[in-house]
Structure 1
Amino acid sequence: MIRVLIADDHPVVRQGLRTFLDLQDDLAIVGEAADGAEAVSLVESLAPDVLLLDLKMPVLDGLGALRELSERGPRVRVIVLTSVSDKGDVAPAMRSGASGFLYKDVDPAALVQAIRSVHGGQVLLAPEAADAMLTGADAPAGHAPIAMLTERERQVLALIASGRSNREIARELVVAEKTVKTHVSNVLMKLGVQDRTQAALYAVRHGYVPRG
């Protein structure tokens, strides 16, 4: 059972999300927060697996809540769910620890799948959010084309984006974990990114995993 906390300052939005998500056999809504400060407090007291977090809230906004959670260290996967279309919010949210970034016009079934995917370790963004992350000022410079990756490196990239560990990738591809580490290093170098999260974002942007 995936324990979900909803943080949004609009009661009708919270009620709508609860009503739909409660219908899912594998999801349980453990609480609701009306502002960012309450969200941080409830994460610590209720220990949800996934937090659905609005950005524009009173007392403490979504970005502030993300930073608080990152500093305090509770293990929760956060999906930003916002109606705001400011592309400048995407990179700060992901840097502050969000695992997903979706807009409130997302299809309900896609939202459910996003919760499951993020809970499973994936990084998942709406197409517009992925575009903003990788084409904005904060995007890593000098992306090499996908063509520079070998077929095996492309497979590794797709598995990174699916949230697999090196050990899991090794098992999937039937190779040694040391070999996977070499492939991962090569992928990061060729794409010009610093870590696995940025590699996952690149994969989302170029269609290697489903986008929100």
Structure 2
Amino acid sequence: MDEKLRVLVVDDHPLFRQGVVNSLNAEPDISVIGETASGEQALAMARDMLPDVMLLDISLPGWDGLTTAEKVTSACPATVVVMLTMWEDKDKLLAALKAGARGYVLKGISASDLAVVVRNAANGEVHVSSSLAAEMLVSLTNEKATDPLQELTPREREILAGIGAGKTNREIGEALFLSEKTIKHYVSNILQKLQVRSRVEAALFAVQHKSLARR
């Protein structure tokens, strides 16, 4: 018979924590080996017990769940941390993943679905609640769809075209009847908006977008 998955539950609400413990212990292949309301205690227990999966709330007294996740994943890399939280928050999700968590589950999840998440996490799969996953996908899609040229003013596009043509700031200024100092200021803005580090990179960008001066 295969060994049961060993789970540690960390939550500061006793009634909710007991419900999670009872539901997971009812599964034939899962065993809750410990529970605590403290992040500090969770780290000590993880080091001592080496659970396969830790279910961890974000809102805890003392160390919060994000701090605890970072410490546990660093000290006990074999333990998979899954956040079990009420926070339906994209920023907290990103912070949790950055801290080393391999899952982010909302507390409205059913007992059977939570057991599936625990099994999948132990097998190396990453799980994020569907509502947050959809929000993240929309956010990332919108960011990727942004055209850097849309951030430039018509004047900045003219100056970028001059950079692409190999002109100096003075030459661009003379053509546009602007001072060299003013052109230098425009160039700084252009580099920032295009998220490039140098004039050379801006020139390469301009060459790739030859029609920009006519937009």
TM-score exceeds 0.5: yes
Q: Secondary structure at the match of 1:55?
A: coil
Alignment match of 1:142 (pick from 118, 141, 144):
144
Task: Report deviation, 1:129.
Answer: 2.4
AA at the equivalent of 2:15: V
Partner residue in 2 for 1:32: 35
| Structure 2 residue 40 is matched with structure 1 residue 41 | no
Task: Report deviation, 1:130.
Answer: 1.5
- Give the Cα–Cα distance (whole angstroms) in 1 for the partners of residues 138 and 100 of structure 2: 20
Alignment match of 2:114 (pick from 111, 116, 131):
111
1:63-84 superposed Cα distances (whole Å, 9 cap, x missing partner):
0001112332431111100012
Q: Secondary structure at the match of 1:122?
A: coil
Describe the shift of the 1:87–1:78 C-alpha distance in structure 2 as closer, same or farther (beyond 3 A): same
Task: Report deviation, 1:136.
Answer: 4.6
Q: CA RMSD in A?
A: 1.9
Describe the shift of the 1:135–1:96 C-alpha distance in structure 2 as closer, same or farther (beyond 3 A): farther
Q: Secondary structure at the match of 1:142?
A: helix
Identity of aligned residues (%): 32
Partner residue in 1 for 2:131: 128
Describe the shift of the 1:140–1:48 C-alpha distance in structure 2 as closer, same or farther (beyond 3 A): farther
Alignment of 1:1-212 (within 5 A): 1-136=4-139, 142=144
Q: Which stretch has the larger CA shift, 62-71 or 49-58?
A: 62-71
- Give the Cα–Cα distance (whole angstroms) in 1 for the partners of residues 113 and 24 of structure 2: 12
Report the number of matched residues: 142
- Give the Cα–Cα distance (whole angstroms) in 2 for the partners of residues 36 and 132 of structure 1: 29
Q: Which has the higher contact order (CA 8 A, sep 6+)?
A: 1
TM-score of the aligned structures, taking structure 2 as reference length: 0.61
Unaligned runs of 5+ in 2: 146-215
Unaligned runs of 5+ in 1: 144-212
Task: Report deviation, 1:37.
Answer: 1.1
In our comparison, the structure showing a higher alpha carbon Rg is: 2
Partner residue in 1 for 2:179: none
AA at the equivalent of 1:33: T
The answer to whether the 8 Å contact 1:43/1:74 transfers is no
Describe the shift of the 1:31–1:134 C-alpha distance in structure 2 as closer, same or farther (beyond 3 A): same
Describe the shift of the 1:141–1:69 C-alpha distance in structure 2 as closer, same or farther (beyond 3 A): farther
1:107-163 superposed Cα distances (whole Å, 9 cap, x missing partner):
1111110100111110111112213444457x89538xxxxxxxxxxxxxxxxxxxx
Task: Report deviation, 1:88.
Answer: 1.4
Task: Report deviation, 1:28.
Answer: 0.5
